[in-house]
A = this chain, B = another copy of it.
Amino acid sequence: MAEPLENEPAIASTIADTVCSKLQNAIVEGIIPAGSKISEPALANEFGISRGPLREALSRLEASNLIERKPNVGARVVTLTREHLVEIYLIRESLEGLAARQAAENMSDKDINELDALLEKHQQQIKQDQSYYQKEGDMDFHFRIIKGSKNSHLIDMFSNDLYHLIRLYRYQFGMVSKRVPRAFVEHGQIVDAIRQHDGELAQFLMSRHIRSSRINVEKMLDEHLALTD
């Protein structure tokens, strides 16, 4: 299960780190429900730790936009709205377009081959079990390209700000779409553009890919649920 990635430098040693990870997952999976209040004493008790490192963890969750804090009042898990989801999609459309462009310029042959292998792997998974591809596989692909941009600040923004938030929406809105085959084809096109080091094209394709995804999601939300109000 542990892949032989060369330089995964070390493990997060501090308590705040591990608790932060656990809370991220708990929020994404809805174990701590969206919109619910977070009690520091209760949580600290539950984890068997003091309030110090817990507050440190909460700080990071706030930076990840998973919770909102008001001074002297406390922290709440963010509430999911259609508007926020659209905002995030628009930002992704913009930023991941840039990422694809820079990936086309900066990815090494080795990187690109690995990306190809991932695509291959996804093709297998789709035949067997679409759900994994939808849940995590798609995210894997996008994150790989973001890393491929070699833009450290961009990578940072995704890792810290957007990644878990995207997972949260995907998880809790239970997005299951008929777009999987189409999306997979689009992924292939993007990789082709990257292999030809055609940054402009890669940017265009990635932006359009995410735009299509957004429009699809908006449609789904309109049909299925009235989530916002």
Contacts and interface: CB of A to CB of B under 8 A. Distances in A.
A191 to B, nearest CB: 21
A55 B52 CA distance: 10
A86 to B, nearest CB: 9
Interface size class of A (residues with CB under 8 A): 20 to 34
A87 B151 contact: yes
B102 A90 contact: yes
B157 A161 contact: yes
- What is the total number of copies of this protein in its complex? 2
A-B interface, 5 closest residue pairs, ranked by CB to CB distance from nearest: A63-B63, A59-B59, A94-B98, A87-B153, A14-B71
Contact of A52 (B52, B93, B94): B52
Contacts of A97: 94
Interface of A: 12-14, 17, 52, 55-56, 59-60, 63, 65, 71-72, 84, 87-88, 90-91, 93-95, 97-98, 102, 151-154, 156-157, 160-161
Contacts of A72: 13-14
A72 B56 CA distance: 14
A85 to B, nearest CB: 10
Nearest to A55: B56
B17 A91 contact: no
Given A13-B71, A87-B153, A93-B98, 13 more contacts: A52-B52, A56-B56, A60-B63, A84-B152, A87-B151, A87-B152, A88-B153, A91-B98, A91-B154, A94-B94, A94-B98, A157-B157, A161-B161
A152 to B, nearest CB: 6
A106 to B, nearest CB: 11
B90 A98 contact: yes
A52 B56 CA distance: 10
Contacts of A88: 153
A180 to B, nearest CB: 26
Contacts of A63: 59-60, 63, 160
26 contacts: A13-B71, A14-B71, A52-B52, A55-B56, A59-B60, A63-B63, A65-B156, A84-B153, A87-B153, A87-B154, A88-B153, A90-B102, A90-B151, A90-B154, A91-B95, A91-B98, A91-B151, A91-B153, A91-B154, A91-B157, A94-B94, A94-B95, A94-B98, A95-B95, A157-B157, A157-B161
